[in-house]
C-alpha cells in the first residue's frame, strides 16, 4: 500500500509532498490516471507558431519582474508597477512581431497572449488598450501612409496610445455618440468638441496618467453634413506630460479591480488636429474639402469601421480560457489533496474531489473551457486567412466573447467557492482573477447586445435558407435512457440542432406577430429581446459543439480521444439539463431528463481521474500558481 501512495504522489506531481496529512493509508483515495501524454495534448490544443511558443515558455520560466503581483499596493504603486511591467512586455512583444501581424499573422498575437503568465492582469489590459485597440485602429482603419507614419512609434512606445470610444451617455450605441469632429476647410483641420456632459469620453484605459495619444471616435461633420462615426488620431499630452490645449482629463478613480490601469474621462474643447489624422481607409476628406468614401451608405461604412476591430473580442475569449485554466488547475489540484469529513470508514477523511457535489461544481467548467478553446482555434484560423470571411468572423467573435466571458465569470466563482477561504486569498490567484475579469462581460461589447447581433444574423440567414421544421423524436427514441444513447454524439448534435432550428422559427413568428399587431419593428425587437438572446445562445452553443466534436474526432491518440469525448458529452448534457426547452418542447422525456442528470454526475466522476492531465494540458505550470495548487501544507509551516 505504501507503494500505492508513492505512485499516487508521483502521478499528482507531488500535490502532497508532505505526508503529515496522511496519518494512515486511505483505501478510498481517488487515484489519478495518466493514460495519455498531457504534453502531446497541449501541442494539439496550441498548434501554432511552436518556435515562438517555446521561446516564450523559456522566457516566462526565467522571468521574475513581470510575475510580480500587485496585491496590497496603493493605487499609485499599482499603476507604477503595471506601467513598468507593460513597458517590459512591449519590449518582449516587439522582439517577436509587429503591429502589422494583427492583420498578416494573428497567430503570433494569439500565441503571445496565450503565453501570458501574469499575476497582475492589469498589465494585459494596458497592453490590449495600447496594442490591440490603439494600434489595431491604425492597422485596420488607417491608410498605408498612416500605417507607415505611426506603426513604428507605437511599437517603440514613442507614442503611448489609448482608445476613446465610450462616452458617459453612450457605450454600446456607438452610432449615437455625441463627440463631434467638424472639418475647417480653410485651416485643413478638424475641430473636436464634447458638446455635452454626457459626451465626455469615459472609462478610457491608460488616459488618466500615461497616454500621449488617443484614437477619438467621433461624428464627422463636413460642410454641414454629418458623415457618421469616424476614427481620429489625436495627441493628448505634450512631451512634458502636460495636457494638450483643448483636452481636459480627470481620473475615474478606484475601481473594483484592474486598478493598475489608469482609467480617465476626457472632454474636448476646440481640439484642433490636422486633416491627415482622420484614419481614412473607409472614408476621408480630400484637399478640396470634399468627403469621399469607397463604402456607402453610412450604415455599411460604420459596420466596416467597427468590424475592423473584431480582434479584441477574440482576445477576450482566449483570455477567458486562460483564466479558467488557472482557476481549474488550482481548484482541481487542491480538491485532490484537501480532505473534509469522514467517509464510510470513520478513520479517514474524504478528499474534496470524492464528493459528487464538489465534482459537479468544477468538472463541467473544464468541459466548457475545452469546448470554447477549440472554437477559439477555429476563429483564429478564419482570422489568419488571406481572403477573410468577414461576416462569419464578426458573428463568431461576438458569440465567443459573450459565451466565454460569462463562462469565466461563473467558472472562477465556482473555483473560488470550491476552495473555501483559500480561494479568497490573493496569493492563490482565483479570487483576484475573478475580480479582474469581471470587466470582460461588458467591455468589447455588452453580452446581451452581442447575442442579439448573433441572433440578427441567424434570422437574416434563415430567410435565405429556412431551417427544417422541428419534429419531436419518436416515442421509441424518447424511451431510450441508456448511457450509450444519451452520451452519443448523434443524440447530442440532434438536441442542439433541434433547439436552434425551433428557436429560429419561434423568434421569427414572435417578431412577425408583434409587427402584425401594430408594433414598430424596433419595438417588436425590444419586446422580444429575451427570446432573441436565447436564439443567440442557441447558435453559439451549437457552433461550439460542432467545432468541439471535429477537434476531438481528429485527435490521433485513442486514450486521449476517449477522455475528450467524455468532455463533449458533459458539455452538451449540462446544457440540456439547464435549459427547460428540451422538456417543454418534448425533445426528451421526463425519464430521459432524469437519466441525463444521472449521466452528468457519472461523467464528472469518470473525468476526475484524467482531470489533472486535462488541466496540465492547458499549459499552466501548477508550481507557478498559488500555494494550494501544490504543497500547501509545507507552505503554511510556521
My answer on whether 122 and 246 are in the same domain is no
- Judged against a pLDDT cut of 70, whether residue 18 lies above it is answered with no
- Judged against a pLDDT cut of 70, whether residue 631 lies above it is answered with yes
Cis geometry, peptide bond prior to residue 297 (ω within 30 degrees of 0):
yes
Of 105, 123, 155, the one marking the end of a domain is 155
Is residue 70 situated within a structural domain? yes
My answer on whether 450 and 555 are in the same domain is yes
Q: What is the CATH number of the domain that holds 327?
A: 1.20.140.10
The angle subtended at Cα 66 by Cα 63 and Cα 72, nearest 5°, is 130
My answer on whether 441 and 525 are in the same domain is yes
- Averaged pLDDT, 34-46: 91
Active site residue 155: no
Determine if residue 508 is labeled as part of a ligand binding site: no
Q: What is the CATH number of the domain that holds 249?
A: 2.40.110.10
- Judged against a pLDDT cut of 60, whether residue 461 lies above it is answered with yes
The Cα 16–Cα 634 span in angstroms is 9
- Averaged pLDDT, 43-72: 93
Is residue 542 situated within a structural domain? yes
My answer on whether 268 and 328 are in the same domain is no
CA-closest candidate to residue 127, choices 167, 91, 158, 179: 91
Higher per-residue confidence, 23 vs 245: 245
Is residue 305 situated within a structural domain? no
Burial of 414 (0-12, 13-18, 19+ CB in 10 A): buried
Q: Could you report the per-residue pLDDT of 266-276, keeping only the tens digit for each?
A: 999 999 999 99
- Averaged pLDDT, 400-415: 97
My answer on whether 280 and 346 are in the same domain is no
Domain that holds residue 143: 53-155
My answer on whether 541 and 486 are in the same domain is yes
Is residue 9 situated within a structural domain? no
Predicted TM-score (pTM) of this structure: 0.93
Whole-number average pLDDT of the chain: 92
Is residue 415 situated within a structural domain? yes
- Averaged pLDDT, 59-66: 90
Q: Could you report the per-residue pLDDT of 290-334, keeping only the tens digit for each?
A: 999 998 888 888 888 887 778 899 999 999 999 999 999 999 999
My answer on whether 142 and 167 are in the same domain is no
Q: Could you report the per-residue pLDDT of 347-402, keeping only the tens digit for each?
A: 788 999 999 999 999 999 999 999 999 999 999 999 999 888 889 999 999 999 99
Q: Could you report the per-residue pLDDT of 428-453, keeping only the tens digit for each?
A: 999 999 999 999 999 888 999 999 99
The Cα 29–Cα 14 span in angstroms is 15
Q: For residue 15, what pLDDT band results from cuts at 50, 70 and 90? A: very low
* Count: domains in the chain: 3
Is residue 27 situated within a structural domain? no
My answer on whether 192 and 252 are in the same domain is yes
Ramachandran sector of residue 588 (left: φ over 0; alpha: ψ -120 to 50; beta: rest):
beta
Is residue 40 situated within a structural domain? no
Cβ proximity of 394 and 307 under 8 Å: yes
Is residue 2 situated within a structural domain? no
Of 267, 295, 323, the one marking the end of a domain is 295
Active-site pick, 2, 444, 476, 517: 444
Which pLDDT score, from 0 to 100, does residue 12 have?
45
Of 124, 155, 186, the one marking the end of a domain is 155
Determine if residue 166 is labeled as part of a ligand binding site: yes
Cβ proximity of 604 and 597 under 8 Å: no
Q: What is the 3-state secondary structure (H, E, C) of 573-613?
A: HHHHHHCCHHHHCCCCCHHHHHHHHHHHHHHHHHHHHHHHH
The Cα 146–Cα 281 span in angstroms is 9
Which pLDDT score, from 0 to 100, does residue 11 have?
42
My answer on whether 591 and 519 are in the same domain is yes
Percent of the chain at pLDDT > 90 equals 85
My answer on whether 290 and 419 are in the same domain is no
My answer on whether 367 and 474 are in the same domain is yes
My answer on whether 448 and 590 are in the same domain is yes
Weakest-pLDDT range from 114-118, 133-137, 197-201, 224-228: 114-118
Amino acid at each position: 500500500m505504501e507503494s500505492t501512495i508513492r505512485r499516487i504522489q508521483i502521478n499528482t506531481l507531488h500535490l502532497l509532498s508532505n505526508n503529515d496529512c496522511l496519518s494512515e493509508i486511505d483505501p478510498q483515495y481517488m487515484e489519478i490516471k495518466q493514460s495519455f501524454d498531457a504534453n502531446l495534448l497541449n501541442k494539439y490544443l496550441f498548434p501554432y507558431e511552436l518556435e515562438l511558443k517555446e521561446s516564450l515558455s523559456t522566457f516566462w520560466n526565467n522571468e521574475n519582474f513581470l510575475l510580480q503581483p500587485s496585491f496590497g499596493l496603493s493605487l499609485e504603486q499599482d499603476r507604477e508597477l503595471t506601467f513598468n511591467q507593460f513597458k517590459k512586455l512591449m519590449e518582449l512583444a516587439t522582439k517577436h512581431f509587429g503591429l502589422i501581424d494583427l492583420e498578416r499573422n494573428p497567430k503570433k498575437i494569439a500565441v503571445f497572449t496565450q503565453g501570458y503568465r501574469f499575476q497582475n492582469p492589469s498589465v494585459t489590459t494596458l497592453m490590449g488598450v495600447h496594442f490591440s485597440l490603439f494600434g489595431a485602429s491604425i492597422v485596420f482603419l488607417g491608410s498605408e501612409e498612416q500605417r507607415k507614419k505611426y506603426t513604428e512609434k507605437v511599437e517603440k512606445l514613442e507614442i503611448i496610445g489609448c482608445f476613446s470610444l465610450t462616452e458617459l451617455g453612450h457605450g454600446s450605441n456607438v452610432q449615437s455618440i455625441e463627440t463631434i469632429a467638424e472639418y475647417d476647410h480653410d485651416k485643413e483641420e478638424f475641430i473636436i468638441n464634447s458638446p455635452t456632459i454626457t459626451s465626455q469620453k469615459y472609462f478610457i484605459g491608460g488616459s488618466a496618467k500615461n497616454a500621449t495619444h488617443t484614437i477619438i471616435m467621433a461624428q464627422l461633420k463636413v460642410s454641414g453634413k454629418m458623415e457618421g462615426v469616424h476614427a481620429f488620431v489625436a495627441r493628448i499630452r505634450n512631451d512634458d506630460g502636460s495636457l494638450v490645449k483643448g483636452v481636459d482629463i480627470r481620473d475615474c478613480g478606484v475601481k473594483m479591480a484592474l486598478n493598475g490601469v489608469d482609467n480617465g474621462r476626457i472632454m474636448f474643447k476646440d481640439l484642433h488636429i490636422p486633416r491627415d489624422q482622420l484614419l481614412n481607409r473607409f472614408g476621408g476628406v480630400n484637399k478640396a474639402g470634399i468627403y469621399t468614401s469607397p463604402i456607402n451608405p453610412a450604415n455599411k461604412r460604420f459596420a466596416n469601421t467597427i468590424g475592423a476591430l473584431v480582434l479584441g473580442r477574440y482576445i477576450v475569449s482566449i483570455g477567458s480560457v486562460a483564466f479558467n485554466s488557472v482557476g481549474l488547475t488550482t481548484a482541481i489540484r487542491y480538491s485532490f489533496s484537501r480532505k473534509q469529513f469522514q467517509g464510510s470508514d470513520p478513520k479517514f477523511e474524504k478528499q474534496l474531489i470524492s464528493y459528487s457535489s464538489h465534482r459537479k461544481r468544477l468538472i463541467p467548467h473544464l468541459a466548457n473551457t475545452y469546448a470554447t478553446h477549440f472554437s477559439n482555434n477555429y476563429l483564429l484560423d478564419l482570422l489568419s486567412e488571406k481572403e477573410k470571411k468577414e461576416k462569419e468572423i464578426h458573428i463568431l467573435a461576438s458569440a465567443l466573447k459573450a459565451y466565454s466571458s460569462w463562462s469565466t465569470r461563473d467558472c472562477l466563482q465556482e473555483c473560488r467557492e470550491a476552495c473555501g477561504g483559500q480561494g479568497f486569498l490573493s496569493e492563490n490567484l482565483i479570487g483576484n482573477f475573478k475580480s479582474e475579469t469581471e470587466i470582460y462581460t461588458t467591455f468589447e461589447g455588452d453580452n446581451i447586445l452581442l447575442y442579439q447581433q448573433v441572433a440578427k444574423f441567424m434570422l437574416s440567414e434563415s430567410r435565405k435558407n429556412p431551417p427544417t421544421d422541428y419534429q419531436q423524436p419518436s416515442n421509441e427514441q424518447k424511451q431510450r435512457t441508456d448511457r450509450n444513447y444519451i452520451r452519443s454524439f448523434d443524440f447530442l448534435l440532434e438536441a442542439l440542432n433541434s433547439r436552434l432550428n425551433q428557436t429560429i422559427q419561434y423568434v421569427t413568428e414572435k417578431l412577425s406577430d408583434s409587427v402584425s399587431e401594430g408594433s414598430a419593428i424596433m419595438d417588436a425587437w425590444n419586446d422580444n429581446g429575451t427570446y432573441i438572446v436565447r436564439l443567440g445562445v442557441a447558435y453559439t452553443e451549437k457552433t461550439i459543439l460542432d467545432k468541439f466534436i471535429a477537434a476531438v474526432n481528429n485527435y490521433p491518440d485513442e486514450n486521449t480521444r476517449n477522455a475528450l469525448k467524455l468532455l463533449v458529452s458533459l458539455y452538451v448534457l449540462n446544457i440540456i439539463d439547464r435549459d427547460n426547452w428540451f422538456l417543454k418542447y418534448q425533445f426528451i422525456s421526463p425519464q430521459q431528463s432524469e437519466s441525463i442528470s444521472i449521466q452528468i454526475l457519472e461523467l464528472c466522476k469518470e473525468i476526475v481521474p484524467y482531470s489533472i492531465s486535462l488541466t496540465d494540458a492547458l499549459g499552466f505550470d501548477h508550481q507557478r500558481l498559488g500555494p494550494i495548487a501544490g504543497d500547501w501544507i509545507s507552505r503554511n509551516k510556521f
